[in-house]
């Protein structure tokens, strides 16, 4: 069995969309390759005095529609193919969301939970220094992703600004509020997931109220999605983190769980009224809505046929493989694709960047309202083209994105 390579998913999806649009290879061949890849080594002085060298990447997939844009991931499984795939997905995500960016991504092969705060800060400083020749507010703008957040973004701004000799808030987004960050940014990805889940249910003639939900991953995306879906009166009955999966058919206490997690706890130590289930059981649960909000390749050719959710809303990037997509489609399961479902994060990043450049800060209400407008408009256009062309929502989203990349940015 060949190893899973997420970039193969990217290529297959581009090919399908290009064929549907009737493009000849000469029109889209360039989009299959990242424009620029920088691999760096990151020597870090550890707390015990030793030096460990980590591996890092910054991939700029496309600048056809604007500066490349996308997060930085700290995870032990990060590799170049993964970062390249994540960068490409950002290109299509920004295009479908209608924001003037290309796509990029960064990553460091490190388990951030095993490093002290000082070690993480030094790692971020060296990584920033080494990618600094290619990042900047007008060229390539990082943001948080799995394993990073506001604090890492703040270290990045400090390091970049020191190197450049002036405070440069626009070099990254997802900064803490008060340090150039935007109100609503932390919640924005989960908010976008909720907006698209609600819109999809509505389009299917169903209600979000009372719908049962399973969420894989209780990080920033899964956690906020669970919270906001609960506020919409959906019933979140199963959630998971890296340590465990929990289930309560009557609905979980999401507020309580989020406080428990925010205190640094793992689900395996949660003592609430829940049943323990396996991650297979969570993914294959008979729910109205499944939100995979962890990592890539979670729904693949091995388990796709067992999926019973009626609607999948991809909080994570690339959780469903191309092979799985075909099986789900055959089984009538609707998938709101990552580049649409989780675009709320980067849309709000765009708002943050605008606020930084103008030095004019918006209220949370204004941010949320603009976010709702942008994500709803993106959903509507994807839904319409998918219905019109009789293709999946993923195919529809790629038709829109590829068309913009090929026809509007020659
Ligand atoms: N990492 C997020 C994503 O995958 C956000 C990227 C950004 O805000 O630039 O969409």
Per-residue pLDDT tens over the stretch 35-83 = 999 999 999 999 999 999 999 999 999 999 999 999 999 999 999 999 9
1 pLDDT exceeds 50?
no
How far apart, in whole angstroms, are the C-alpha atoms of residue 356 and residue 142?
A: 14
CA–centroid distance, 70 to ligand 1, in Å, is: 5
369 pLDDT exceeds 90?
yes
Q: How confident is the model at residue 410 (pLDDT cuts 50, 70, 90)?
A: low
How far apart, in whole angstroms, are the C-alpha atoms of residue 396 and residue 197?
A: 17
The DSSP call for residue 70 is -
Read off the pLDDT of residues 235-282 as tens digits, 9 standing for 90 and up.
999 999 999 999 999 999 999 999 999 999 999 999 999 999 999 999
Q: What is the pLDDT averaged over residues 365-382?
A: 98
Handedness of CA 372, 377, 380, 381 (dihedral sign): negative
**Ligand 1 lined by 345 (C-beta under 6 Å):** yes
Read off the pLDDT of residues 121-166 as tens digits, 9 standing for 90 and up.
999 999 999 999 999 999 999 999 999 999 999 999 999 999 999 9
For 258-295, letters b (16+ CB in 10 Å) and e give bebbeeeeebeebeeebeebeeeebbbbebbbbbbbbb
CA–centroid distance, 100 to ligand 1, in Å, is: 14
**Ligand 1 lined by 102 (C-beta under 6 Å):** no
**Ligand 1 lined by 212 (C-beta under 6 Å):** no
Ligand 1 atom at shortest distance from the alpha carbon of 350: 8
Q: Can you spell out the DSSP letters for 308-365?
A: --SEEE--SSS-B-HHHHHHHHHTT-EEE-HHHHTTHHHHHHHHHHHHHHHT----HH
Q: How confident is the model at residue 3 (pLDDT cuts 50, 70, 90)?
A: confident
Question: If you take atom 9 of ligand 1, which residue's CA is the nearest one?
Answer: 70
DSSP E strands in 196-310: the ranges are: 212-216, 235-240, 245-247, 275-277, 289-292
Q: Can you spell out the DSSP letters for 180-209?
A: TPPTTHHHHHHHHHHHHHHHHHHHTT--ST
CA–centroid distance, 47 to ligand 1, in Å, is: 31
CA–centroid distance, 274 to ligand 1, in Å, is: 32
In the numeric block, the tokens 């219905």 are attached to 387
The pLDDT mean for the chain works out to 97
**Ligand 1 lined by 193 (C-beta under 6 Å):** no
Q: Which residue from 102, 174, 344 has its CB within 8 A of the most atoms of ligand 1, so it is best to mutate?
A: 174
For 367-385, letters b (16+ CB in 10 Å) and e give bbebbeebbeebbebbbeb
Closest CA relative to residue 351, chosen from 365, 377, 370, 376 = 370
**Ligand 1 lined by 312 (C-beta under 6 Å):** no
What amino acid positions are annotated as catalytic residues? Answer: 105
312 pLDDT exceeds 70?
yes
């Amino acid at each position: 069995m060949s190893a899973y390579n997420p970039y193969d998913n990217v290529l297959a999806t581009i090919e399908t969309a290009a064929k549907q649009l009737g493009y000849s290879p000469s029109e889209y061949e360039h989009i299959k390759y990242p424009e620029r890849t920088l691999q760096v080594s990151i020597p870090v002085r550890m707390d015990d005095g030793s030096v460990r060298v980590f591996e890092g990447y910054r991939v700029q997939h496309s600048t056809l529609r604007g500066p490349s844009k996308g997060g930085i991931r700290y995870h032990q499984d990060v590799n170049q193919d993964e970062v390249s795939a994540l960068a490409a997905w950002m290109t299509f995500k920004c295009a479908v969301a209608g924001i003037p960016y290309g796509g990029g991504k960064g990553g460091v092969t490190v388990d951030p939970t095993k490093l002290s705060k000082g070690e993480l800060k030094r790692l971020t400083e060296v990584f920033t220094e080494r990618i600094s020749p290619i990042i900047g507010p007008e060229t390539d703008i990082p943001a948080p992703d799995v394993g990073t957040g506001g604090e890492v973004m703040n270290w990045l701004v400090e390091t970049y600004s020191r190197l450049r000799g002036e405070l440069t808030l626009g070099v990254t987004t997802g900064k803490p509020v008060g340090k150039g960050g935007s109100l609503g940014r932390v919640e924005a990805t989960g908010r976008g997931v909720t907006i698209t889940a609600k819109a999809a249910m509505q389009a299917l003639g169903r209600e979000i109220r009372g719908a049962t939900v399973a969420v894989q991953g209780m990080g920033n995306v899964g956690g906020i999605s669970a919270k906001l879906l609960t506020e919409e009166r959906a019933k979140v009955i199963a959630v998971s983190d890296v340590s465990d999966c929990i289930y309560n058919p009557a609905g979980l206490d999401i507020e309580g769980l989020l406080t428990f997690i925010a205190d640094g706890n793992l689900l395996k130590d949660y003592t609430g009224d829940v049943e323990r289930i396996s991650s297979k059981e969570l993914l294959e649960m008979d729910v109205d809505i499944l939100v995979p909000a962890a990592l890539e390749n979670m729904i693949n050719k091995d388990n796709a046929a067992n999926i019973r959710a009626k609607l999948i809303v991809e909080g994570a990037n690339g959780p469903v493989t191309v092979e799985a997509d075909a099986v789900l489609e055959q089984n009538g399961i609707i998938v709101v694709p990552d580049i649409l479902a989780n675009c709320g994060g980067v849309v709000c990043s765009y708002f943050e960047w605008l606020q930084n450049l103008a030095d004019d800060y918006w209220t949370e209400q204004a941010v949320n309202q603009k976010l709702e407008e942008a994500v709803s408009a993106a959903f509507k256009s994807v839904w319409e083209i998918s219905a019109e062309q009789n293709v999946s929502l993923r195919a529809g989203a790629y038709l829109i994105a590829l068309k913009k990349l090929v026809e509007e940015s020659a």
